[in-house]
Every structure is written in structure tokens, then in C-alpha cells.
Structure 1
Amino acid sequence: MAESVGQRKRIGKRWVFAAVLLLLGLFVWWRHSGPEQQKHGAGGPAVGVARAVSGAMPVVLDELGTVTPITTVTVLPQISGYLTQVAFTEGQSVTAGQFLAQIDPRPYQIQLEQYEAALAKDNASLAQARSDLARYEKLASQDSISEQQVTDQQFLVRQEEAAAKTDQANIDSAKLNLVYCHITSPISGRVGLRLVDIGNYVTSGSSTGLAVITSISPTTVIFSVSQTDLAPVLTRLGQGAQLTATAYSSDDTTKLEDGTLSAVDSQIDTATGMVKLRADFPNSDNALFPNEFVNVHLLVNTLQNATLVPTQAVQNGAPGAYVYVVQPDDTVHVQPVTTGPTDGTNTVITKGVSPGDVVVTDGVDRLSDGMAVQVANTPAVASAGDPPAQPHHHHRHHNAAAAQ
């Protein structure tokens, strides 16, 4: 009897355990299936959508460039001598013709005086020779001397004239050397670090120089574009367009200055497939520093009345680029498309989608062709024409070697 009571208790415990497992399973099923059913309902998964619109799309090339000064000059001594004065400060801005340094002029002043003395002596000899020639010509007219004496005197006058010209050339050279003793800046720009100190003996054959002066304002930026992007640039230049180039900081976040494209190199680098371009910048606030790496945004063209969709709506797969288009019956259709330029936020669709079509932008990973969906956008359908939060550009060639 006691054994049957124990058996009944064990059976009762098994039923209780089975009931607990059943309740736990129902709870898990409710947690995973209930909300999903509420979410999907009869209309399928909820998706975010946007409406394709017609708008303008700037075609911008984003390239890495190097700030390249228009002029860089190494100030070299034209004569030899001891440096007696340095009149510039390292990093100073100078103007063309501004005094920079002085070489001891005394040896060249003495040389000038010697040449002037030689000229005075030769001028006296020349005056005597001319006086004798006049007398000989008068005597010759009276048949008092031979014609040969007159001819010889004429040659002597020419020799003295040549000697006087040589002396004058030496004087001019000595005066030029005195000018070279007073060293001035050949250009306007910024002086670099001093390369020679006062008291050093400098020579005209020195390659080091006294200082390096770099022009700052205006300046240029040299950058490279792919050969595939070159044709639109050349087309626009051939049409007489002035292409705007905007320089940004190396992290591509801070705008430095606006400029214009000024030149295209004459050949493509066969090693990289890139071609160099030069843009001019006024650099009035000195924001562009020589040899600085910058990002150049070159506005090549602006496409008008282009069909725009949000970039996240464009997918890539076996059929190539495609979008999910929401049909009037709230089903989606896989639509292959041909894409054009993009600014990171919107993408141009040249074929496959028309303005007004509604495309899926969020939840595409759960979709298949013909599936029913629910539009979850609130409060209204998003527009592909909405302005982006920050500018983006569709080409980037971070090739430091090509930018040089």
C-alpha cells in the first residue's frame, strides 16, 4: 500500500515537471514569435523607404595634393668674402629687394679704385695719341712725313681706346661686385632657417647658400587624377569653364581655401596611370603651407535634373547594382539600375528608376523579390533630395607618390 502511494507521488511530480517545461516553452515561443508577428503582421517586414527625386548632383573629384610654392629661391653669394652682417630673422616675411646680408666690401672697393686709376692713365695715353695723330695728319697733308707714320699712329690711337674700354669694363665689374656685397631678397616670401652665421667666409661656388626664401601668397597645389577621370576635366576646360578647386586639411574636415584649376600636365605617368594638375590659390591668410599635404575637391561639373536616390538604397549582387522598388500593392520588386556619380549621401541613377519611385533604404537584408512589406517611415516618406549632413565626394586617390 505504501509502495503504491509513493508511486503515485512520483507520477505527480513528473506531471508537474512536464507542465513547467510546457509553460517555459510557451513563454519562449511568445517572446520570440509574438512581437515578430505583431511587427510583421499580414503585411510582411517593416522597411524604411525614400522617394527618388530629380535634382542637381555635383561631380567632384577628391584627390590628395601637395602645396607647391610658385617660387623657391636659395640665396647664394655671388662673390667671396667674410659675412659681416645678417639683417633677417628666421621665419621672417620679406619683400623683393629687402636687405638680407652684407659681405665685407673693402677688397672690392680697393679693386675699384685700382681700375679707376688704370682708366685715368689710359685716358691720358689716349689723349696724347690722338693729339699726335692730329699733328701727323697735318704734316702728312704738307708732305712733311710719310703716310706710314700716320697709319701707325692711327693704330696706336685704337689700341689706347681699347685699353680705356677694358679699364671701364673692369670698373663696371668692380662696381657690380660692390652691389653683390649688399645681398637683397630676389622675391617676396618667407625666409627659412639661417644657413650661415656672421664671420664665416662665403664663396660664390657655395651650394649651401645663406637662406631659402619661399613664396607664400599666392601659391599652388599640385595633385593627380586618374586617367579615367581626365576626359571630363579636359572637356570642361575645352568649353572654357573655370573649374573650382577647394583645399581641405589632411583629414579632409577643415576647409582651407578656394582656388581654380590652372594647368594640366602634358603626359600621364605610365607607372601609376595618373596625370598631374595644378590649381592656383590666393592664400591671403597663409592657410596653405609649402609642401603640406591637402585634400583637393575639384568640381568638374554639376548634373542637372538627375534622378537621385539615397546611397544606402543601392545594393550590389549577382545582377549588378539594384534597388528594391515598393509597388502600389506594398510588395517589393528587384530593379537592376545603372548608377552615376555619388556624393556619399545620394547616388545618381541613370537607368532603372524614375523620379517618384519609392525605394527601400532600410531592412533590405530581409527582403526578396515579390515580398510584401510595411512602410515604417515616420512621419513621412524620406526624400532623396534632403541635404546631406556633411559633404562627401565620390573619388579618392590617396597616392602620396602621385601627388608629388
Structure 2
Amino acid sequence: MNRLLNRLPFQPLTLGLMAAGLLTLAGLGLFATRSQAADTAKPGAATATKPSLTVTTTQAQSGMLPIKLAANGSVAAWQEASVGTEVSGLRVQELHAAVGDYVQRGQVLATFAAESVQADVALARAAVSEAQANAAEALANADRARAVQGTGALSAQQVNQYLTGELTAKARVESAKAQLDSQLLRLKHTQLLSPDSGTISSRTASVGSVVGAGTELFKLIRQSRLEWRGEVTSAELGRITVGTNVVVTSPTGAQYKGRVRMLAPTVDAATRNGLVYVDLNGAVAGTKATPGAFKPGMYARGEFELGSSGALTVPQTAVVVRDGFSYVYRVGADNRIAQLKVQTGRVVGDQIEVQSGVKPEDKLVAVGGSFLSEGDLVKVVEAPKAASKPKEAVAPEKTAQAATK
């Protein structure tokens, strides 16, 4: 009983302290809420959405772009000569040209063993001498027969025999001379000469081999001239004419300007493609000393220059390809992004043609469009100017007008 009485005086004091603490906490919470609300209501508070990206803008430019027709094809020799021997049964003694050498017209390419031919020439000369001696005797007999003809010293038959013998002897001399000429020609052919200037593209001859007449020993690219044979569809073949300029690019990146020399008179029935023969100006078959950028058999790409036409172009960096489609990003008056689907065309340098989807007055994101989406907020800044010579001062009115464009 006494313990209970001792506690009673302290119970109200405890309850009061607890109530005071609760009121204090409630007051602090209310003060924090009001302070937060007051801060939010202050002018200049960051309530706007933060821009997604800082960008520069560009606009489509109108101008003239070249019309080009691209095609693929093979590089080939303008003409290739087959060089072979005209004498049968001769042994190759020495070779004077190899693959890749540039040779001149009349230059010796190979020599054959000439001992047997020289012996035949000596026999032919002896036969000519013998025929000439017999012809001299026959001529003397014929002269004597003509002198006594009609006197009865010789019968008519004998006179005819002497006269016929003269003609026969002369014919034998001519025959012997022809045989000698033939052997001299064989002797001349023991040296194989180049029929034209050009580059040796193939050599099948080997020292010591015995070759027959007509055997090909060398192949020669005449005058080292090359041509490009472009494959063009039958529908596009009519757009090309003789004399059209062409730019041909090799796999190494080297470019040569050419001109259409001829159009094929027929079209391949399997591929429906026709060949266009283009002379490559300045492109020659490479030699061992000076390798060329083009080689026969090489596959190359060419562009036919067919004129020019007007077009709208934008920088290539402004076009983004997504899911197989091309897009540009227009910046609206509120700096919000609108994604526009466009149809692209020709590419010239760092510019690309936009055939549809863009107007000249549209402000487009110049770089970084791949990081944006429809409705994004961006911050627009001026593009940095390239370093150049100082320009004359511009009036403030003109500067302001340029900034508003």
C-alpha cells in the first residue's frame, strides 16, 4: 500500500513529459514541411526537365549533284598477241625475255639452235650454183642451135631439144634460188622477234625444248594498254553512249578516268547484262620495274558520269540508320525532338541526298542523333567555327538576323 502511494505523485509528471515530447516532434515535422514548400515556391527553382543532349543544328542545302551509274567489271588487256615459232623441229637455245618485261617492237625474245638450218642454207647455195652452171651450158647449146637453124646441120628435133634445155635450165635456177630463200627465211626465224611493243604476260618456252611450228611461246599485252569491261543491265545500257566518261576504282583504291570505246552488240542471255568497253587513260599493264595499279583479270568498280540534277543534301552525320531505315531528327521551337523518316539517295563527299521527308527550313540535329528519341528535350548551341582568316566586322543588325535564322 505504501509503495503504491509513493508512485502516485510521479505518474502525472511522466505523462506530461511524454505529451510534451510528442508535441515537439509534431511541430518539427510541420516546420520542415512548410520550409520545403517554401523552397519549392521560390522563383528560379529547378522544376523544368533537364535536356537530354547538347546539339548543333544544320539545314538541308539545295544544289546540283552528278548523276552516276555504278557497275562492276573486269580489267583486261586491250589486245593480247600470241607469239610463237614458225619453224618446226628447232631447239630453244636461249630466252631473252621473261614475264613482266616490257619489250619493243622487233626485240629478240628467244633464239633457236641454227646449225642444221645453216647446213641447209649451204646446200641450197650449192644447188643454186649447180643450176646456174647447167643453165650456162644449156644457153650456149641453144645459141649454137639457133645459129645453124635452117642450114640442115641439125634436125629440127635437135634444135627444139637445145632450146627446151635452155628453158629447163633457167627454171631450175629459179627453183634453186627459191629453195635458198626458203632456207634463209628459216635461218631468220631462228630468232623470235616481238611483233609489237608491250608487256610480256605469259611465257611457256623453256631452254632446250624442241618446238613445232605454230607453238605459242609468249603472250604479249599490246602497247601495255588496258581496258575495263563493265557489266551493265540491259535496262541501263541505253543510258550510256560512246564517249561517256567513266571513273574506275581498283581494289587498291587507285582511280583512273576512262572513256567508253564501244558497247557490246549483244546481251548475255543468262545474266541479261551487256558489256561496256572502257579505255583506261593512263592505266598500263605493270612491269617488273614499275608495277601498275590495274592488272588484267582484276575486278574493279566503275561509275559512268551521266550528267547532273538538283537535290537537297544534308551532312552524313545527320542521318541515322535504324532497323534498315534512315532517320533525321528535327529540333522544334520548344527544343523538342521529332524523328523524321527519310529516303536517301546519292552520296557526294560528306553530303548525302535526301529525296523525301525533309524541308529546307527544318533545323536538324547535325551530330549525335543516334542518342535521341522522339520527344527528347535538347539544348541547342552554335557549331564551332573553323579557324580561318579574320573577316571584316559585321553590323550588329546583320549578326542578329543571322542568329535568328
TM-score if structure 2 supplies the norm length? 0.63
1:167 maps to what in 2? Answer: 176
CA distance in 2, matches of 1:277, 1:377: 51
Instruction: Provide the C-alpha distance between the structure 2 equivalents of 1:142 and 1:121, rounded to a whole number of angstroms.
Output: 33
1:107 offset after TM fit, Å?
Answer: 0.7
Give the 3-state SS of the residue equivalent to 2:295 in structure 1: coil
CA separation of 1:131 and 1:338: change in aligned 2, threshold 3 A = farther
Contact 1:325/1:335, CA 8 A, preserved across alignment: yes
Bigger drift between 159-168 and 302-311 goes to 302-311
For the pair 1:113 / 2:113, whether they are aligned, the reply is no
RMSD across aligned positions (CA): 4.4
Per the alignment, do residues 81 and 345 of structure 1 end up closer, same or farther by CA in structure 2, a change over 3 Å counting? same
- Could you tell me whether the CA contact under 8 Å between 2:80 and 2:222 is conserved in 1? yes
Q: 1:54-92 CA distances to partner (integer Å, 9 max, x unpaired)?
A: 222123333333231234345433322223323345543
The structure number with the bigger radius of gyration is 2
Q: 1:379 & 1:188 partners in 2: Cα distance?
A: 62
Q: Distance in 1 between matches of 2:250 and 2:164?
A: 74
Q: Confirm or deny that 1:228 pairs with 2:235.
A: yes
In 1, the alpha carbon distance for the partners of 2:173 and 2:356 equals 87
Specify the SS of the correspondent of 1:38.
coil
Residue 266 of structure 2 aligns to a residue whose secondary structure is: coil
Alignment counterpart, residue 301 of structure 2, candidates 289, 296, 300: 296
Q: 1:336 to 1:145 in 2, by over 3 A?
A: farther
Query: d(CA) in 1 for partners of 2:223 and 2:313?
Result: 42
| Match of residue 280 from structure 1 | 279
2:78 partner letter: I
Match of 1:56 among 42, 61, 64: 64
Question: Secondary structure of 2:167's partner?
Answer: helix
1:392 maps to what in 2? none
Listed as ranges, the matches of 1:1-400 within 5 Å are 37-39=49-51, 50-79=58-87, 80-89=89-98, 91-140=100-149, 150-191=159-200, 195-198=204-207, 200-205=208-213, 207=215, 209=217, 211-215=218-222, 217-234=224-241, 237=242, 241-249=243-251, 254-281=253-280, 282-283=282-283, 286-309=291-314, 341-343=346-348, 346-348=351-353, 356=361, 362=369, 366-367=373-374, 378-379=381-382
Distance in structure 1 (CA, Å) of the matches to 2:332 and 2:380: 16
Any idea what the Cα deviations from partners look like across 1:180-208, whole Å, max 9, x if unmatched? 1122333333446764443x241224746
How far did residue 274 of structure 1 move?
A: 1.6
Q: Secondary structure at the match of 1:39?
A: coil
Of all paired residues, the percent bearing the same amino acid is 20
Shift of 1:132: 3.2
- More relative contact order, 1 or 2 (CA 8 Å, 6+ apart): 1
After superposing the two structures, state which structure 1 stretch, 50-59 or 340-349, moved more.
340-349
Using a 3 Å threshold, how does the CA distance of structure 1 residues 287 and 258 change in structure 2: closer, same or farther?
farther
1:308–1:348 contact (8 Å) kept in structure 2: yes
Cα distance in 1 between the residues matched to 2:264 and 2:181: 44
Indicate how the Cα distance of structure 1 residues 286 and 196 shifts in structure 2: closer, same or farther if over 3 A, else same: closer
- Alignment check: 8 A CA contact 1:66 1:223 kept: yes
Tell me the equivalent position of 1:13.
Answer: none
Aligned residues of 1:58 and 1:299 also touching (Cα < 8 A): no
Asked whether the 8 Å contact 2:250–2:301 carries over to 1, the reply is yes
Partners of 2:322 and 2:237 lie apart in 1 by: 27
| Secondary structure of residue in 2 paired with 1:233 | coil
Aligned residues: 330
Asked if the contact 1:337/1:353 (under 8 Å) is kept, the reply is yes
Q: CA deviation at 1:172?
A: 1.1
Alpha-carbon distance in 1 for matches of 2:121, 2:205 = 27
* Aligned 8 A contact 1:47 1:373 in 2: no
Per the TM alignment, residue 155 of structure 1 is displaced from its structure 2 partner at its CA by: 4.0
Deviation of 1:343 (Å): 4.5
Contact 1:49-1:375 within 8 A present in 2 as well: no
Q: Quick check: 2:57–2:383 contact (8 Å CA) kept in 1?
A: no
Is the Cα contact below 8 Å between 1:133 and 1:153 reproduced in 2? yes
SS in 2 for 1:121: helix
Deviation (angstroms), 1:178: 0.8
Compute the displacement of 1:104 (Å).
Answer: 1.3
What is the SS of the residue equivalent to 1:187?
Answer: coil
**Is contact 1:216–1:283 with CA below 8 Å preserved after alignment?**
no
Q: Which runs of 5+ in 1 are unaligned?
A: 1-33, 382-404
Query: For the structure 1 residues 141 and 219, does the alpha-carbon distance in structure 2 shift closer, same or farther, using more than 3 Å as the test?
Result: farther
C-alpha spacing 1:336/1:38, structure 2 compared with 1 (3 Å): closer
SS at match of 1:220: strand
Query: In the alignment, is the contact (CA less than 8 A) between 1:87 and 1:101 conserved in 2?
Result: yes
Equivalent residue of 1:168, what SS? Answer: helix
- Over 3 Å counting, the alpha-carbon distance change for 1:150 and 1:55 in structure 2 is farther
Whether the aligned pair in 2 keeps the contact of 1:324 and 1:360 (CA below 8 Å) is: yes
**1:292 Cα deviation from its structure 2 partner:** 4.5
Distance 1:349 1:164 in 2: 88
